[in-house]
Every structure is written in structure tokens, then in C-alpha cells.
Amino acid sequence: MSTTTEETAPQPAGIVERLVRDDVDRKRFLRIVGGTGATSFGAFVLAACGSSSSKTPSTAAAPAATSTASSSSAGGDVAILNYALTLEYLEREFYAKVVASGLFTGKVGSLIKSFGSQEATHVEALKGAVSKMGGTPAANPNGKFPIESATQVAGLAYTVENLGAAAYLGQAGNIQSPEVLATALAIHSVEARHASTLGTLVKKSLTPDGAFAKPMEMSMVLAAVKPFLA
């Protein structure tokens, strides 16, 4: 008679791993984001997860993953959405203060204003996603940002946007819902493009981590944004 220990018991699978294991989940996700190329996507994520599909057939993994998603995705995903929402609140406020400062004019000023508008859209999208899942959107924190000069602010914006992109990437493997992952990846892509554009402005690397972006754990991100909380 076999016994199930903590080490051998099935572990919760995030949606990223489920997309690799389960063809149904993968096709559903690709329909959500409007993309193609399930095979290449699956191969990349499988390599990133450090897993081997030959050890765990998708037909065996799918039922456990589905059960996990139905029982725990709402609470975990809502927490992740609210975490992202808190970061977006701060980014929205940061850009609003930068625009109000009048430090940037012309094409650069218009660019900064458009970034702020996009961050505001992210806020509304995340609030809607939290509510749709039955959660309560996180409260809007009061931010404090040093607005000293155009050069200083541009450098800070570059840092903030790279931090935001790393934060989304850091949570991708923990997300259970395909819809939530689609939302997170859609925002992550924009954050990364903001960072690259600002990198051009401040003459810093467009890809500071090289060929592969580095994720950042929630605790590290929250520690990094703490100085910006009033």
C-alpha cells in the first residue's frame, strides 16, 4: 500500500506550465490573445520551466491541473491582479505628476503623456478584472516621487518601467487563469516597450538583462517601490 507524502503529492500547476502540458488550455489561451504557434510557445515555456514533457504526459497532468485551477485560481489570481494594480496605480500617479511638472515638451512631452494614459488604462483594466473574478480592487496608495529635472525623471521612468515588466514576468508562472495570464502578458509587453523607449531617451540599454528578461519576485518589487509610497 503506497502512501502520499508532501514530496510525492501533486503540486499546484500554474497556467504557464498547464499551457505546455494541456493542449486544450494552450489552444484556449492562444484564442484569447489572438496568437498562433502553439508548438514553439510550448517548447519555449517548457524549457524555461526546466521540465520534460516525456516524463509527464499531458493527458495525465490535465485533470489535476484543472482541479487545481477550479479550486484555487480565484484567490491566488485576484491577489496577483491586486499586486499588479498597486504597481499600476503608482505608475499612473508618477506620469501624472511628470506631465503636470511641465519638464517635457514637444514630442517627448507627448510621449510621456501617452505613457501616462496607457498606465491609466491598465489601472481600469486590472480593476475590472479583479471585480469580474469576485474580488475587491486594491486601494489606491499615495505615492511620492522626486520630480527634480528632466534627466532625473527620465532615468527614474526607465527604472520604474523595467521594474514593472520584471514584476509581471515574475508572476506569470503563478497565474492559474488563462484570461488573467493573457491580461498580464498584454500589459507586460507594453511596460517593456515603455522601458525600451525610455532607454533610448536616457541612452541606456534597451535590453538590460540581455537576451532573456529576468523576472523579479514580489517581495523584491515591493521593497523597490517602498520609497515611492507616502
Residue 170 belongs to some domain of the structure: yes
Domain presence at residue 7: no
Residues 6+ away with beta carbon under 8 Å from 178: 15, 19, 25, 28, 29, 32
**Residue 143 β-bridge partners:** 229
Q: List the grid coordinates of 103.
A: 519638464
Contact assessment for residue 167 and residue 87, using Cβ atoms and an 8 Å cutoff = yes
Residue 87: inside a domain:
yes
Predicted structure pTM score: 0.70
In a domain, 5, yes or no: no
For residue 92, give the CATH number of its domain.
1.20.1260.10
pLDDT tens, the chain, 230 aa long: 545 444 444 445 555 555 545 555 555 544 544 443 443 333 333 333 334 344 433 333 333 333 333 334 557 999 999 999 999 999 999 999 999 999 999 999 999 999 999 999 999 999 999 999 999 999 999 999 999 999 999 999 999 999 999 999 999 999 999 999 999 999 999 999 999 999 999 999 999 999 999 999 999 999 999 999 98
Residue position matching grid coordinates 506620469: 95
Answer whether residue 22 is part of any domain.
no
Supply the pLDDT for residue 15. 54
Structural domain count of the chain: 1
pLDDT of residue 230: 87
The pLDDT assigned to 99 comes to 97
Domain boundaries, position 219: 73-228
**201 inside domain:** yes
Q: What is the pLDDT of residue 44?
A: 36
96 lies in a domain? Answer: yes
Q: In this structure, how many other beta carbons lie within 10 angstroms of the beta carbon of residue 83? A: 19
Residue 148 within a domain? yes
